[in-house]
Structure 1
C-alpha cells in the first residue's frame, strides 16, 4: 500500500476511529490525543497490513489496541449507567431509547463493548473473531449474552422511569 493509498484509506475509515473514541474515551482532550495516536500507530503498522482482511477490520484492531493500552496506562474506570451525567452526543438521530442503549454499551467491559459495537457495524462473527482474537463460536455465545444483558438493562431502566 502506497503512502497516498494509506492516507486515503484512513480518511475513508475515520468514522471507525470516531466510534471507538466515542465508546471508550470520555475526556475531549484525551479523544483528540488518542485520535492522533491511533493514526500514528496505524502509520507505523501500515507495512504489516497484508490485505488478508479488510482495511476496516485491521484499523479496528489497531484503534482498539491503542485505546486499550491508553486506558490501562491511565487506569480509567468506566462510569456506571446510572451515574452517567454527561449527555451523549452522537451524530445519528437520537431517541431516549437509543441514548439508553448507548449508555448501556459504554458501561460494558472492553471486550463486550467491542463485540457489540462491531456487530452493530454489521461485521460478521468471523470478522469479529479476527479483530478480537476470540473464536467465532465464542463471539456468538458472548454476543447472545451481551444482547440479553442489554435487553434486561434497558427493560429495567424503562420500568424505573415509568
Structure 2
C-alpha cells in the first residue's frame, strides 16, 4: 500500500517537518492543547478579549498569551486596539479563523458519538432558521459520502516531486 503524505503509522514527533500533509500543517497551527477551545469560544461564543478567554477556559495567562500571539502570527486572528487609556486589545477572528467552524462542528459530532455519555451537551443551529447544523463529507459528483471506507487519500498536485513514489 502506498503511503500518502508521508504517514507510515509511526507516532509524530514534536515537529511535523517530515509530514507532507495538510492535516499535519493544520496541527502545527491549531493542534496544541487549548487552541481549538480558544477558537471555539471565539467562533461560537463571541469571545474577543483576553479576560473573556481566560475566564471561560480557566487557562493560564502565559499559555493564553502564547496561543493568541500564535493565532495572530498565523493569520487566524487579528489584534485590534479598542481602548487607548488603558491600552487594551481584542482578538478578532479573520476569515481564515472563521473557516475553522466546520472542523469544530465535525469534532463536536465525533465527540457526541464517541466521547460523550448520553445526549450532546452542545447543539449547533443555523442562526437564520434555528435548524440543526451538521458537518458532512461530500463528493463533488455523488453528494454525501456516508461510508468513510469509500474515501481514499491520493497524491495531489502540491506533493513535492522528490516525495513522489519512484517508478520501478
Same fold (TM over 0.5): no
Return the index of the structure with the highest Cα Rg.
2
TM-score (norm 2): 0.25
**Higher relative contact order (Cα pairs below 8 Å, separated by 6+ residues):** 1
